[in-house]
Amino acid sequence: MNDWVGELQRLRREGTAAVLVTVASIKGSAPREPGAKMIVTAGDADGTIGGGHLEHQAIAIARDLLARGANGALRRFPLGASLGQCCGGLVNLLFDPVSTTAEWVDTVSTFRRDGTPCVLVTAAHGATHAGKLVVTSDCAIGTLGAGLDMQATEIARELLANGESVRLMQIGAPDAPALFLFEPQRAADFSIVLFGAGHVGRALVHVLAGMPCRVTWVDSRDDQFPRDLPANVTVACADAPTSEVDAAAPGSYFLVMTHSHALDQELAEAILARSDFAYFGLIGSVSKRRAFEKRMKNRGVPPARFRHMTCPIGVPGISGKEPAAIAIAVAAEVLQARERRAAADAAPAQARRA
């Protein structure tokens, strides 16, 4: 789930106790990645840790913990016949009860809101103190107890410096080690700037609502935006939409699908003038692309830049013209671009570990 911290804050305000279920680690094939989360209350469950019987059993365990007021626990689940699954892997799930007075939730929320990377460290198994520690590059808030804070802080800062992800690690005295879950929390670097609030734009926002991305949705027509927006979408009603191109962060993913070909071309020129975007997709046909390239070349845009413009957009093999079909094809292509970029970014860290 994208905004698990915000959901926990909402439940705290309502006085509702919950269990935060996190995929702590996996081995082999598994339905979700480490760090995937689900929030379970007595009457509801939000998010997913993989679905199927695994999730059904996890919800039952979480509600039993709530009913008994029990402490958290790390549980091991082989993904075999006993769970009605054939993945063949193994999943470790951390069941972490979150009381209505859990101050660490607000601490993590503040750092996320301010764009400050941090690491949430949670006791998983064998610890004598069920504490939490939130670590940034220059401070540590909370405690794990038993003199573990300094060791955990050092590890957390190393994870931040190396750009690494969720780790289940053993720390503590050699004769009494314990397991702790280290979860780096960074500002989402998957930023999409979507120009156009027409039928396809609205369908695309609906698809992207469940993705771990931030969407800036740009149009000059305020009445085109729906009243209810997904939590990861920010509206920018701009008389000069090209200003949002200049304001976008490096590494942004641009999608242009406005109601005006003239505006599409203006935006294309502004985007191609940058050299730091991750992806630029322009809705339209091959004929539209050729016409745009000809006009932009006449306006001084170097032809070498055109290879950085994807048009038509969408993964091949989907011929449907319905807005929903186009949106799915476009979202799939953006996710492919994201995967390629993530692989390239991960290569240096993998080389350092080798």
Give residue-wise pLDDT tens across range 293-335: 999 999 999 999 999 999 999 999 998 999 999 999 999 999 9
Structure confidence at residue 81 (pLDDT): 55
Structure confidence at residue 242 (pLDDT): 94
Reference 218, options 200, 199, 193, 198; nearest CA is: 193
- Helix or strand holding residue 343 (H, E): helix 323-353
pLDDT tens digits along 264-296: 999 999 999 999 999 999 999 999 999 999 999
Angle CA 203–209–215, to nearest 5: 90
pLDDT tens digits along 169-178: 999 878 778 8
Is the pLDDT at 8 greater than 80? The verdict is yes
Backbone torsions φ then ψ of 248, nearest 5 degrees? -65, 145
Which pLDDT band, with edges at 50, 70 and 90, does 145 fall under? confident
pTM score, two decimals?
Answer: 0.74
Who's near 250: CB < 8 A, 6+ residues apart?
A: 276, 277
Backbone torsions φ then ψ of 77, nearest 5 degrees? -130, 105
pLDDT tens digits along 211-230: 888 999 999 999 999 988 98
Residue with tokens 């509801």: 44
Per the CB < 8 A criterion, the answer to whether 57 and 75 are in contact is no
What sign does the CA torsion over 349, 188, 194, 1 have? Answer: positive
Which pLDDT band, with edges at 50, 70 and 90, does 104 fall under? very high
Helix, coil or strand: residue 230: coil
CA 317 from chain center: how many Å? 27
The mean pLDDT value of the chain amounts to: 90
Q: How far apart are the first and last CA of the chain?
A: 32
* Percent with pLDDT over 90 in the chain: 74
- Helix or strand holding residue 340 (H, E): helix 323-353
CA torsion angle 52 66 232 347 (round to 10): -60
- Structural domains in the chain? 4-98 (no CATH), 111-185 (no CATH), 191-340 (3.40.50.720)
